[in-house]
Amino acid sequence: MFIFKRRFSTFLQLSERSKAVQNACRVFAEKELRPVADLHDKLSKFPQKQIEHLGREGLMGACIDGKYGGRGYNLLTFTLAIEELSRVCASTGIIVSIHNCLYADLVQTYGTPDQLNEFLVPFTSGQIGVFALSEHDAGSDAANLSTTATKTESHYILNGRKAWVTSGVEAKAGVFFAHTNKDKGHKGITAFIVPLDIPGVELGRREEKLGIRASSTCDIILNNVQLPHTSVIGEVGSGFEIAMRQLQLGRIGVAAQALGIGQAAFELAVKYSCQRTVFGERLCDKQLVKSKLAKMATELESARLLLWKAAAMRDAKQDFRKISSMAKLAASTCATSNAHHCVQILGAKGFVSGEAERYYRDSRITQIYGGATDIQKLVIADLILKEAEFD
């Protein structure tokens, strides 16, 4: 039996709590996710039973304060959990990641007492919340929203269509971003918390995707949706700022997912190359294969160091914007590269349906959502130039 002994970088001393969460997620992933991951992918089946289990264990409110039903983990501990889940099922990893980083954290940070009671407490134990910012003509250009919120004496009336909403099919509520004053540009965007079972909210068709097929992605249509004025979360006109803050956090979640995919592809490549014999010699003893394995391992370690640094900086309340973009860039690049090399090493076995092929498909999205690779490069460069000092 092949056993891969995983060793993590130790520049950061993990707490006993962090180690326990990491181990529990690893055991859960192997026991509960691995037997069904391929099937859920093929059927595009949401892992309902597994998400409910994670909800009972507190992972759907991982970093949320205990007074709201959360576990109160720091962000570093959360990244360990997402990596372990994503190493086996990237769909489950991103469901948990987006719910925590883009919905639950936002509601905890900006919600009123009534909003916290209604839209956070039930969502730390299994109900799913979504983050609805993107539109078909407003992806990387997040300020170019067409969704509007018209204020009347008693309500806001929302109209528009949100695109690529992760977990939109299963969610019970979401934070939606709309223009309350288009003349003000991005300063006229406001965030609203919207129950998804009220009149005027309609789900578009579920998207057929290249990868992470067990997580749902759909449009959500708002057709004269009436919301009370108390549905505003944060301040009127602060929606763009709120969205950018959450996306900075979301990049760490996506980086953790990407790292899990990259780790899985690396482990499979090592395992196969050690077992496969070619011309009387193990595949892993071939110089070209060794070169690939060395590159895969180095990129993994580099991405993990950046991810842990970004999480630790955020936990320490330091400015983590640049490092989170670097971590997202490095981890997503590692995931796609490692998945490519894994398929190459497995050859025909990597091309047919199976784990390697799934890693290859799942990895691709990590360079797109949460801010595309080219956007991360722009963010990093802009922050570097702001930090630079010239004589």
Q: Where are the domains of the chain?
A: 16-124, 129-237, 241-385
Structure tokens at 186: 């991005």
Element containing residue 384 per DSSP (H, E): helix 373-387
Q: Contact at 8 Å (CB) between 253 and 85?
A: no
Q: Contact at 8 Å (CB) between 306 and 231?
A: no
Under CATH, to which class is 16-124 assigned?
A: mainly alpha
The band of 16, judged by pLDDT with boundaries at 50, 70 and 90, is: very high
Q: Do domains 16-124 and 129-237 have the same CATH topology?
A: no
Structure tokens at 334: 């590692």
Q: Which residues of 331-342 are buried (b: 16+ CB within 10 A; e: fewer)?
A: bbbbbbbbbbbb
The band of 139, judged by pLDDT with boundaries at 50, 70 and 90, is: confident
Is residue 158 predicted with pLDDT exceeding 90? yes
pLDDT attached to residue 1: 43
What is the value of pTM for the model shown? 0.95
Q: Distance of CA 67 to CAs 52, 90, 101, Å?
A: 20, 30, 18
pLDDT attached to residue 11: 57
CA distance 101 to 336: 23
Q: Does domain 129-237 have CATH number 3.30.420.10?
A: no
CATH classification number, 241-385, choose in 1.20.1630.10, 2.40.10.10, 3.40.50.300, 1.20.140.10: 1.20.140.10
Give the model confidence (pLDDT) of 104-136 as tens digits: 999 999 999 999 999 999 999 889 999 999 999
pLDDT attached to residue 390: 61
Q: What is the share, in percent, of the chain residues with pLDDT greater than 90? A: 92
The band of 2, judged by pLDDT with boundaries at 50, 70 and 90, is: low
Q: What are 190's strand-pairing partners?
A: 178
Mean pLDDT calculated for residue range 134-147: 86
Mean pLDDT of the chain: 95
Alpha-carbon Rg for the chain, nearest whole angstrom, is: 21
Q: What count of other Cβ atoms lies within 10 Å of the Cβ of residue 230?
A: 11
CA distance 175 to 191: 6
Q: Contact at 8 Å (CB) between 250 and 370?
A: yes
